[in-house]
Chain A
Amino acid sequence: DQQVKQNSPSLSVQEGRISILNCDYTNSMFDYFLWYKKYPAEGPTFLISISSIKDKNEDGRFTVFLNKSAKHLSLHIVPSQPGDSAVYFCAASLGLNEKLTFGTGTRLTIIP
């Protein structure tokens, strides 16, 4: 039973435009959400996070939005750059120091 889902396995975006990656979850008890980025032959690296008490968190070109009523979060990257091409995983946890449950991943390709 996949508690965290990313329904788009892949996404292609023109360089300079906005990339929007989506994630849905089923467990309403999740209260921390994160995005990780993974290049081939490397481990995932932490990108940005959001607590359930917020609905938006920004860090440079990256913004995460949380809609608790819809159990949905999204990652916006603007402007998109070629180095953003990677697989993106969303993840959720039941508490700050609890284990992470990851989504299925979305492969983002930025077209020059």
Chain B
Amino acid sequence: DVKVTQSSRYLVKRTGEKVFLECVQDMDHENMFWYRQDPGLGLRLIYFSYDVKMKEKGDIPEGYSVSREKKERFSLILESASTNQTSMYLCASRGQGRGYGYTFGSGTRLTVV
């Protein structure tokens, strides 16, 4: 089974800090995604990447950036954390041609104080 690992389950950061959320998948998947989950808003797409060095903005990219230097790793960066970025962050991967088979990580609960 493909595994998607998010480096931290819980994080607490201060306003203004630069925050890195790491995601690693072990099945050589081309596509990787970052979503955030908020009550009443569901899962909203922040950024995604169809291959190494490629990145595309999702629906809510403001305040975030990403890095995909290696196929297995997709990092989400909060340039200057703010309290409205307190959320559950979910990373997912999918192999090319695999249709809708997203595999999600367990999530990182980020609190910005």
Pairwise interchain contact A97-B96, C-beta atoms closer than 8 A? yes
Pairwise interchain contact A96-B42, C-beta atoms closer than 8 A? no
Pairwise interchain contact A97-B99, C-beta atoms closer than 8 A? yes
CB distance from A89 to the nearest CB of B (A): 6
- A96-B100, A97-B99, A100-B100 are contacts. A43–B44 as well, Cβ < 8 Å? no
Q: Mark B82-113, 1 if CB is under 8 A from A, else 0.
A: 00000000101000111111111111000000
Does A85 reach chain B (CB closer than 8 Å)? no
CB pairs A–B below 8 angstroms (18 shown):
A32-B100, A34-B100, A36-B102, A41-B9, A42-B107, A44-B90, A44-B102, A46-B100, A46-B101, A46-B102, A91-B43, A93-B100, A96-B99, A96-B100, A97-B99, A102-B35, A102-B44, A104-B40
CB distance from B71 to the nearest CB of A (A): 17
Which residues of chain B are near A101, meaning CB under 8 Å?
45, 59
Pairwise interchain contact B48-A99, C-beta atoms closer than 8 A? yes
Which residues of chain A are near B33, meaning CB under 8 Å?
99
Pairwise interchain contact B45-A9, C-beta atoms closer than 8 A? no
Pairwise interchain contact A49-B100, C-beta atoms closer than 8 A? yes
Pairwise interchain contact B97-A44, C-beta atoms closer than 8 A? no
Q: How far is the CA of A49 from the CA of B102 in the complex (A)?
A: 12
In order of increasing CB-CB distance, the 9 nearest A-B pairs are A43-B104, A102-B43, A104-B42, A96-B99, A102-B42, A105-B42, A44-B104, A34-B100, A43-B106
Q: How far is the CA of A105 from the CA of B41 in the complex (A)?
A: 8
Pairwise interchain contact A99-B100, C-beta atoms closer than 8 A? no
Q: How far is the CA of A100 from the CA of B96 in the complex (A)?
A: 14
Pairwise interchain contact B45-A43, C-beta atoms closer than 8 A? no
Q: Mark A41-65, 1 if CB is under 8 A from B, else 0.
A: 1111110010000000000000000
Does A80 reach chain B (CB closer than 8 Å)? no
Q: Mark A80-104, 1 if CB is under 8 A from B, else 0.
A: 0000000001010100110111111
Partner of A99, one of B40, B58, B99: B58
